[in-house]
A and B are shown apart, each in its own frame.
Chain A
Amino acid sequence: MNKKSKASGAILCVSLLAFIAFVAYILHINQEVLYTAHDRSEFVFGTPFFHTLLSKPFGLMQYVGAWLTQLFCRPAIGTGVMVVIWVLIFCVGTKAFRLQGSASALMLLPIACLLTSIVDLGYWIYIYPVRGYWFSQSVGYLAMLLLLWAARCTPRKWHLVWYLIAVCTYPVLGWFALLFILCLALTEKPTWRELIGLFLLILTASIWHVLLYMNLKSSDVMLAGFPRFETPLDKSERLSIPFWVLGAVSVLIPLYGRYLNRPKVKAFVPTLCAVAGIIFTSTLMFHDRNYTDEMRMVRLASDDNWQEVLAMAEKSKKPTNTMVFLKNIALINEGGLLDRSFKLGNDGVGINSPDSIHVTLLDIASPLVYYNYGMMNEAIRLNFENAIQAGFSPFYLKMLSRCALAKGDEKLVERYTTLLHHRPFYGNWQPAPVTEKVKELQNCFPDELTGVENSESYLINGISLWYETDSKVASEQALLYSMLRCDSRRFWASLRNYVKLHMDEQFPLHAMEAYILYMDKAPEEKRMMLPVEQVVYNRYKQFWDTLEGWAKPGMTLEKVGEKMRSEWGDTYWWYNIFGRKTY
């Protein structure tokens, strides 16, 4: 007997350790995601934000969640707090559900659900409008378990009081108050008290809708706080799965938990729970190299750490469109735009997402990109457009502050930095000084009245039209973007202006490659003669020879492009033939 008990204790310990190791690993590989969670989560000090959240049920939990999410600015600290909450959930849950010995491993399942809910979001992280998401569910669940523990510590005749308490706490706990009623009702054999409890369960939301939330749609009051993933353009049922499972597990534990203490079963429970939790999280977690690389690049670019951005670009095999833009901005700042841009790749790929989600450069980094191109009005507009939907998070406040500084709006800088200074870790934050390059670009284009265009093609088209500029930096951009558009007319105009502004400077490699190509395939009537390096010209001829060699029946353009990528992918010619996009 003693041996058996020792063995089951050992199994429990090993299972717990395995699960802890798994959680630690998952949180470790998601540190960049957690930083981005803080960067894109709104928490504004003061009464307006507080009152806005409290005007809806579950608002207090969201407020607490939003405050705690700020801690992810230092992911290790945020993670530490999150883990403490989960440990508390485990401990309080075993008491609340009266799980002993091996059966206590059942509490790993709710934790797995909560862990999954923060690592399965993927690109929703940029557009999810619900405030405090990252912590509110864990905190809410912990509060529910504390209530359940307290209720079960009191005599059964008091349960009715606890049902009423649950009804009263609905504005705070939302759907967890209902889960509490259900769990409490199911822990005991049904009597009239439990029936009243279940009756209250059905009525609670309606009661509160009438009492306090008449300004809301009834559908927004029902099951308050249960995460629904819906924006005007996107919807995901998949992301709600962890919460349905969390609810189901919490209901099943009081119903069937007692059967797990049978000797034949209990030995397997810890292993099964740990394995189930690991499989569940692993299956639903979103993991994509570009997803996290892109986040890191945005963070580095926000800090003007252009060397690191380039270091990442060099490692990236198939960068996303956002990464391509950030890499080209890094090259403006570090130099070598027209010598290195195509070597590092300009054929960006779309995002990889299991949902057909509408997330683009616009949501990921557009204010940062527009800011660095000196297009302040657009940067400010996109900051607002995004922040109105997703919240005035540090990312947007920092960008707004930098834009205001660039526009000379000192009062606005003060306002945004004041808002940031109220956040932990931002006490001394100040916008970085506006660089000379940004200042130069800011003054290089005339004022125009535009519509609501804000796509990648708007940016590329717009910049490719800067071919009459007096700015050296802008003329480089115009030339690059005319090359990206594969637009010979704009290329010749840009090149002419570039040459005029860069007299006595070396002819950059990619510009030379484009010059050779367009002289060959799309020359102007009045040709502009520039000296080119013989090596480059010979390579151009080799490129066409190789291309002709691959051009056989059955070979598509894509297949030829892939075959030639390793040798020619670093040239403008390869981009022009295989990597070009319609802008």
Chain B
Amino acid sequence: MYLSRMKTKLLLAVALLLLSSCVSHPDVPTSSKEAKCQPAIFPDYCDVTVPCNIAPLNFMLPADQYEVCVARLTTPDGQQQTYGKGVKVQIPESEWHKMLGASKGKSIKIEVWGKKQGEWLSFSPFEIYVAEQPIDEYLSYRLIEPSYVAWDYMEIAQRNLTSFKETQIFNNEITMNDKTIGQCVNCHSYQNYKTDNMLFHVRLSNAGTIIVNDGKISKVNLKRDYTISGGVYPSWHPTAKLIAFSTNKTRQGFHTANPNKIEVYDLASDLILYDVLTDSVSVICEDPDLLEVYPTWSPDGKYLYYCKSVPLPEELRDKDIRSTYPKIQYNLYRRSFDMASHNFGEEELVYDAASHNKSATLPRISPDGRYLLFAEGQYGCFHIRHNDGDIVCLQLDDADATLRAQIGEETPSDIDLSKLNSQGLPDSYPTWSSNGYWIMCASRRDDGNFCRVYFSYFNHGKAEKAFLLPQKDPELHVSLLKSYNRPEFMVEPVKISVNEFSRAF
């Protein structure tokens, strides 16, 4: 009898232990010392604006300074809940989404207590503003070590932004048949945020471009005898089965002392148009002296935007690019596109970056066509490796400003992105969510080395403080020794499995 009671108690204790290990709702400290500042939480979610469908913003206090962290979340309807286990605050998805639902258009108040050397400190509360606009449910990226030359395992992954679920789209091992040369996968791209029409490249072993056309997979070789390479940086036409690519002869060099460490540059680059239905490639522009790169369509498909280098001064033209690379700057241009004939119009200057001694790359037009996002640094085309790389936003429907930009007079109505950009570390690869309310960029701001994904709320030309892609375990950003490369929004997941993709080889 006694043994049986003991067993029951033991079982209950185990069950309680298991439960408590799942969710922890600790008590807030009864007494604490006021810290008179906001907590130095990681990631920094203090006073950020988040989508109404984002995954829980789990965070932590620095483990080397604090022993315990407790957070109390209060929604506008007065509901409160506490969280905290060790120095981490991890909120269950269902509870978090209820709180988001109750706070749409308002904010969640967060109070944080931290125990340091046995003493509780209470920090000034902060708010998490919950926007009424959701973010696209999916995000895809390539996960790769911040590499130089070597790489090993590489994958393109997709993440559900409303939860923490991450799955693989493709990896470089399943079809690699020659380990001595390896295999690289890159440049995943989608038509209009949807995944029935998409592509990515496979380089070296088993090389080719995987194109998904209405769900059907094929591997194509985009290299033609009249192009300098196969397709590289892609952009799907928003409605037609057409893809604009740059073709590049890309090289990289390594700085011996410069903090930027790596320089990626093109020896040559042009633009091509690939017709998915006819498997035909036509040249859009191929100036032999200048470099055209990073094509992107306007949301209505009537314009193709791209970057093009500015001619080098005469005295530098015949010199080795390893000495002239700091002088290469790109402006933003566009050409009109006739859907019926597939013809392009004359080149128009959109933004004269060089006149400000800058170089503009990776343009992206907002879904409503009113804003132009791009990355800008002092020189070159690979700002994710430039510490001065920043995201810039221009208002395209401001005719006067555009005119001023074209004549190089001044930066046209630069929208203040100081809350999005980092200080002195690379920010690049900007993109818009499908509803135009969220800007996403890749940034090395956390430590200067590992790229992470940041989001910023954008409304009526105003960008709010950027926040880091939330993770179930906030410490994952420390333990993950890979970079998030080329983050792209999607409104739906890629439904084709890795194995199905591999059958196309």
Q: Which residues of A contact B (CB under 8 A)?
A: 44-49, 52, 129, 214-217, 220, 230-233, 375, 377-378, 380-381, 384-385, 387-389, 392, 407, 409, 411-412, 414-415, 418-419, 421, 442, 445-452
Q: Which of B150, B174, B322, B450 contacts A389 (CB 8 A)?
A: B150
Q: Which residue of B lies closest to A422 (CB)?
A: B479
CB of A375 within 8 A of CB of B256, answer: yes
User: Which of A385, A387, A388, A389 has most B Cβ within 10 Å?
Assistant: A388
A446 to B258, CA, bound (A): 9
Q: Which of A48, A231, A412, A447 contacts B476 (CB 8 A)?
A: A48
With A232-B182, A449-B263 in contact, do A415 and B478 touch (Cβ < 8 Å)? Answer: yes
A451 to B251, CA, bound (A): 9
Extra contacts, 12 of them, besides A52-B153, A452-B148 (Cβ < 8 A), are A46-B479, A47-B473, A214-B499, A215-B171, A232-B182, A378-B256, A388-B145, A418-B64, A446-B257, A448-B256, A449-B255, A449-B256
8 tightest Cβ-Cβ pairs between the two chains A and B: A46-B479, A449-B253, A411-B447, A447-B257, A214-B499, A215-B498, A385-B150, A48-B480
With A389-B150, A449-B325 in contact, do A46 and B447 touch (Cβ < 8 Å)? Answer: no
CB of B448 within 8 A of CB of A411, answer: yes
Q: Is B336 on the interface with A (CB-CB < 8 A)? A: no
CB of A46 within 8 A of CB of B480, answer: yes
Q: Is B118 on the interface with A (CB-CB < 8 A)? A: no
CB of A445 within 8 A of CB of B174, answer: no
A439 to B500, CA, bound (A): 53
CB of A381 within 8 A of CB of B325, answer: no
Q: Is B482 on the interface with A (CB-CB < 8 A)? A: yes
- Interface of chain B residues 80 through 102 with chain A (CB within 8 A): none
CB proximity of B461 to chain A, nearest CB, Å = 32
How many contacting A-B pairs (Cβ < 8 A)? 125
Q: Report chain A residues within 8 Å CB of B450.
A: 415
Q: Report chain A residues within 8 Å CB of B173.
A: 216-217, 220
Q: Is B180 on the interface with A (CB-CB < 8 A)? A: yes
CB of A412 within 8 A of CB of B449, answer: yes
- Interface of chain B residues 118 through 170 with chain A (CB within 8 A): 145-153, 168
User: Which of A217, A375, A446 has most B Cβ within 10 Å?
Assistant: A217
Q: Report chain A residues within 8 Å CB of B181.
A: 232
CB proximity of B222 to chain A, nearest CB, Å = 26
A453 to B45, CA, bound (A): 43
CB of B447 within 8 A of CB of A377, answer: no
Q: Is B313 on the interface with A (CB-CB < 8 A)? A: no
Q: Which of B174, B182, B254, B257 contacts A217 (CB 8 A)?
A: B174
Q: Report chain B residues within 8 Å CB of A377.
A: 254-258, 261
CB proximity of B64 to chain A, nearest CB, Å = 8
CB of A45 within 8 A of CB of B254, answer: no
Q: Report chain B residues within 8 Å CB of A52.
A: 153
With A385-B150, A446-B257, A447-B258 in contact, do A216 and B174 touch (Cβ < 8 Å)? Answer: yes
CB proximity of A556 to chain B, nearest CB, Å = 37
CB of A46 within 8 A of CB of B475, answer: yes
CB proximity of B497 to chain A, nearest CB, Å = 6
CB proximity of B351 to chain A, nearest CB, Å = 28
With A48-B476, A217-B173, A412-B448 in contact, do A232 and B179 touch (Cβ < 8 Å)? Answer: yes
A301 to B471, CA, bound (A): 39
A419 to B151, CA, bound (A): 21
Size category of the binding interface on chain B: 35 or more
CB proximity of A439 to chain B, nearest CB, Å = 13
Q: Is B259 on the interface with A (CB-CB < 8 A)? A: yes
CB of B479 within 8 A of CB of A215, answer: no
Q: Which of A49, A231, A445 contacts B257 (CB 8 A)?
A: A445
Q: Which of A232, A387, A448, A450 contacts B180 (CB 8 A)?
A: A232
Q: Which of A48, A380, A385, A387 contacts B149 (CB 8 A)?
A: A385
Q: Is B446 on the interface with A (CB-CB < 8 A)? A: yes
Q: Report chain B residues within 8 Å CB of A48.
A: 476, 479-482
Q: Report chain B residues within 8 Å CB of A409.
A: 447-449
CB of A411 within 8 A of CB of B446, answer: yes
A409 to B448, CA, bound (A): 8
CB proximity of A329 to chain B, nearest CB, Å = 19
A451 to B257, CA, bound (A): 14
CB of A45 within 8 A of CB of B479, answer: yes
A499 to B149, CA, bound (A): 40
A377 to B263, CA, bound (A): 12
Q: Report chain B residues within 8 Å CB of A447.
A: 255-258
CB proximity of B90 to chain A, nearest CB, Å = 12
CB proximity of B357 to chain A, nearest CB, Å = 20
CB of B255 within 8 A of CB of A448, answer: yes
Q: Which of B256, B263, B473 contacts A46 (CB 8 A)?
A: B473
User: Chain B 367-398, CB within 8 Å of chain A: the 1/0 string?
Assistant: 00000000000000000000000000000000
Q: Report chain B residues within 8 Å CB of A446.
A: 256-257
Q: Which residues of B contact A (CB under 8 A)?
A: 63-64, 145-153, 168, 171, 173-176, 179-182, 253-259, 261, 263, 322-323, 325, 446-450, 472-473, 475-476, 478-482, 497-499
CB proximity of A421 to chain B, nearest CB, Å = 8
Q: Report chain A residues within 8 Å CB of B481.
A: 44, 48, 387, 392
A216 to B170, CA, bound (A): 10
Q: Report chain B residues within 8 Å CB of A385.
A: 147-150
Q: Report chain A residues within 8 Å CB of B478.
A: 46, 415, 418-419
A346 to B257, CA, bound (A): 28
A44 to B150, CA, bound (A): 20
A149 to B490, CA, bound (A): 52
CB of B253 within 8 A of CB of A381, answer: no
Q: Report chain B residues within 8 Å CB of A451.
A: 253-254
CB proximity of A417 to chain B, nearest CB, Å = 9
A421 to B480, CA, bound (A): 15
CB proximity of B5 to chain A, nearest CB, Å = 31
CB proximity of A217 to chain B, nearest CB, Å = 5
Q: Report chain A residues within 8 Å CB of B480.
A: 46, 48
CB proximity of B40 to chain A, nearest CB, Å = 12
Q: Report chain B residues within 8 Å CB of A45.
A: 479
CB of A419 within 8 A of CB of B152, answer: no
Q: Report chain B residues within 8 Å CB of A450.
A: 253-256
Q: Which of B147, B253, B258, B472 contacts A388 (CB 8 A)?
A: B147
Q: Report chain B residues within 8 Å CB of A411.
A: 446-448
Q: Report chain B residues within 8 Å CB of A388.
A: 145, 147, 150-152
A78 to B446, CA, bound (A): 36
A407 to B473, CA, bound (A): 29
CB proximity of B207 to chain A, nearest CB, Å = 17
A-B contact list, 24 entries, CB within 8 Å: A45-B479, A47-B472, A48-B480, A48-B482, A214-B497, A215-B499, A217-B174, A217-B175, A380-B261, A381-B254, A384-B148, A385-B149, A387-B145, A388-B145, A388-B151, A412-B447, A418-B64, A421-B64, A445-B257, A449-B253, A449-B263, A450-B255, A450-B256, A452-B254
CB proximity of B170 to chain A, nearest CB, Å = 9
A380 to B149, CA, bound (A): 12
A380 to B448, CA, bound (A): 13
CB of B152 within 8 A of CB of A129, answer: yes
CB proximity of B160 to chain A, nearest CB, Å = 16
Q: Report chain B residues within 8 Å CB of A448.
A: 255-257
Q: Which residue of B lies closest to A48 (CB)?
A: B480
Q: Which residue of A lies closest to B170 (CB)?
A: A215
A412 to B480, CA, bound (A): 13
CB of A415 within 8 A of CB of B179, answer: no
A233 to B182, CA, bound (A): 11
A570 to B151, CA, bound (A): 43
CB of B146 within 8 A of CB of A384, answer: yes
Q: Which residue of A lies closest to B175 (CB)?
A: A217
Q: Which residue of A lies closest to B448 (CB)?
A: A409
Q: Which residue of A lies closest to B322 (CB)?
A: A449
Q: Report chain A residues within 8 Å CB of B447.
A: 409, 411-412, 414-415
CB of B479 within 8 A of CB of A230, answer: no
Q: Report chain A residues within 8 Å CB of B152.
A: 129, 388-389
Q: Report chain A residues within 8 Å CB of B479.
A: 44-49, 419
CB proximity of A86 to chain B, nearest CB, Å = 32
Q: Which residue of A lies closest to B164 (CB)?
A: A47
